[in-house]
Structure 1
Amino acid sequence: MHVEWLTAYLDFPAPDFGSEVTFWRAISGSTVSPPRGENQEFATLEPFNGDAHLRVQRVDDGPGGIHLDIHVGDPVAASAEAVALGASLIADYATHCVLRSPGGGVFCLVPDGGEHTRARPIRWPGGTISIIDQICFDVPSRLFDAEVAFWEALTGHPMPGRGDPDRVGLTRNPALALQVLLVRSEVAEPATYLEVAATDLAEEIERHEDWGAAVVARCVDRVMMADPTGRHYFISQRNPRTGA
């Protein structure tokens, strides 16, 4: 399966939709497209340059979450390939398919829309440079090896050398705006998070706190944050241009 583009979809419960869109628009430095969909439930966070890789959706049921859209030439054929490799088909909408990976990550296979230009990171007042560039699947330990094998087989991208066997990224295509990272976790249920790459961790945290986020946990070069409604995400000190 040839991956043309990757998009992270932020799914918000209806009561939180407006405030959540405002927060994520602000920290990503984006504008918001006009709403679309039968019930005006979709919108795109438009970068100031390049093609969009972040979209938002209002959901009527459940707490929402984050899922990955994989843009391909033929979603139906790609769905059959994914199922043969161990994914579960959740829904087939003819134009796109919703699936669950062996490790529990939800993703959609959608038609290629012609996106090909990666957005550039933003330099903020004070000099910090940042971009939302990574989607992380927290995978229960018992399912981790199967999850790694699934994504490697599905995308055809051999995994890079594993400096950390518990944090495995798909081979990063420099043309894509998002990196996929698989993280071995002791959680009982899988979870999905977005991650921001920043040149200055302290300044980036302060900027997010100004918009209502809060620090949940700290590591040396990575911080778990909670947005104003409690949704967790990460900020890490990495090169925003390369992801390294």
Structure 2
Amino acid sequence: MEVAWAWAFLDLPPDGFDEELEFWRQVTRTTLSAWRGEQGEFATLLPDEGHPWLKVQRVGGPGGVHLDLAVAAPLPQARDEVLALGATVLDELDDLVVCRSPAGFTFCLTPSAPSEPGQGQVRAGQSSLLDQVCLDIPADRYVAELAFWMRLTGWLPPSPEPDDSGLLPLKRPDGMPLRLLTQRLGAGGAGGTRDTGATVASERHGGSVTAHVDLACADRAATTREHEALGARVESVHEGWTVLRAPGGRRYCVTERDPLTGVRG
């Protein structure tokens, strides 16, 4: 399946909605589009230049992160392909197919627009960039879930196995705004699992995949201070990444990666 564009959705709950929305708007240096949807629940975070890749949604539950994949194929064909790969279809509208991966992660298929990816994502000169969704996958479901995302997107990892921290990225095509990072929860080794509270969250959701967002930053310490000044708090510091909580409690990471390329130098 050809993925023309990938969108990260921040699903924000009612409690602390305005504060958390403003936090994400500021750390991503974006402006908010007009609200849309039947209940005015969707909006896009618009960068100064280039095509956007981040959206927000008002939700009634605890909130989280999900992906929208804009696909080149007609939606009925794309739906049949994800079903054949082991996904479940939860809902189907004229311009949207809501799916669940084999290990329980919610994502949507949408038709690609003519501007995807024509305007591109402007990465050059950014001090930090929200550019990654990390899928936190229970260890006993990791192999099958990794295979699902590889087959769905066609994006391949640089190595066959995660590193000592349980992390394995999928290489995105040139011009794609988002990276996908997979994390095998409960990984051993010198690094241990990247601690974002994912293991606890996974257990709470019956062993399903959860997700969090990561920012690439040129100066992790400076980015962390900036986020703290905007209301985030540091939860833990590791070699190569810092785990923070946004206002409202959402965990995310700032990581030592080049905002231009998305990879560690």
TM-score bracket for this pair, using the shorter chain length: over 0.9
Structural mapping, 1:68-79, within 5 Å: 68-73=67-72, 74-79=74-79
Contact 1:122–1:130 (8 Å) recurs in 2 = no
Structure 2 residue matching 1:239: 3-state secondary structure: coil
Which residue is equivalent to 1:33? 33
Give, in angstroms, the shift of residue 90 of structure 1: 1.4
Describe how 1:68-147 pairs up with structure 2 within 5 A.
68-73=67-72, 74-113=74-113, 114-116=115-117, 117-121=119-123, 129-147=127-145
Q: Aligned to 1:14, what secondary structure does the other structure show?
A: coil
Corresponding residue pairs, total: 239
Greater shift, 163-172 or 230-239, is seen at 163-172
Query: Deviation digits for residues 123-142 of structure 1, max 9, x if unmatched?
Result: 57xxxx11000000000000
Measured on the aligned residues, the alpha-carbon RMSD in Å equals 1.6
* 1:223 aligned partner: 242
Residue in structure 2 matched with residue 235 of structure 1 by the alignment: 254
Identical pairs, percent: 37
Match of residue 223 from structure 2:
204
Cα distance in 2 for partners of 1:140, 1:231 equals 20
Deviations 1:107-129, CA, capped at 9 Å, x for gaps: 100111232133324757xxxx1
**How far does residue 93 in structure 1 lie from its aligned partner after superposition?**
1.8
From 200, 212, 231, the equivalent of 1:193 is 212
SS where residue 216 of structure 1 aligns?
strand
Q: Which residue of 2 aligns with 1:46?
A: 46
Measured against aligned partners, the alpha-carbon deviations of 1:59-102 in whole angstroms (never above 9, x if no partner) come to 1x211111000001222211211111111111112321111112
- Alpha-carbon separation, structure 1, partners of 2:103 and 2:128: 29
**Paired residue for 2:175?**
175
Q: 2:152 aligns with which of 134, 147, 154?
A: 154
Instruction: Name the aligned partner's letter for residue 120 of structure 1.
Output: V
Counterparts of 1:44 and 1:156, CA distance in 2 = 26
1:66 corresponding residue in structure 2: 65
| Letter in structure 1 aligned against 2:101 | S
Question: For residue 192 of structure 2, what is the aligned residue in structure 1?
Answer: none
Question: 1:160 offset after TM fit, Å?
Answer: 2.2
Structure 1 residues 133, 100: CA separation in 2 closer, same or farther (over 3 Å shift)? same
Aligned partners of 2:7 and 2:178 also within 8 Å:
yes
Matched residue type, 2:131: D
Distance 2:107 2:128 in 1: 25
Letter in 1 for 2:103: G
* Cα drift, residue 13 of structure 1: 1.5
- Tell me if the contact between 2:155 and 2:173 (Cα under 8 Å) persists in the aligned partners: no
Once the two structures are TM-superposed, the CA of residue 184 in structure 1 deviates from its matched residue by: 0.3
Unaligned runs of at least 5 residues, structure 1: none
- Residue 16 of structure 2 aligns to a residue whose secondary structure is helix
- Tell me by how many angstroms 1:39 deviates: 1.6
* Unpaired segments ≥5 residues, structure 2: 187-198
CA distance in 2 between counterparts of 1:211 and 1:78 reads 40
Residue aligned with 1:29, SS: coil
C-alpha contact 1:8 1:69 (8 A) present in aligned 2: yes
Which residue number in structure 2 is paired with residue 6 of structure 1? 6
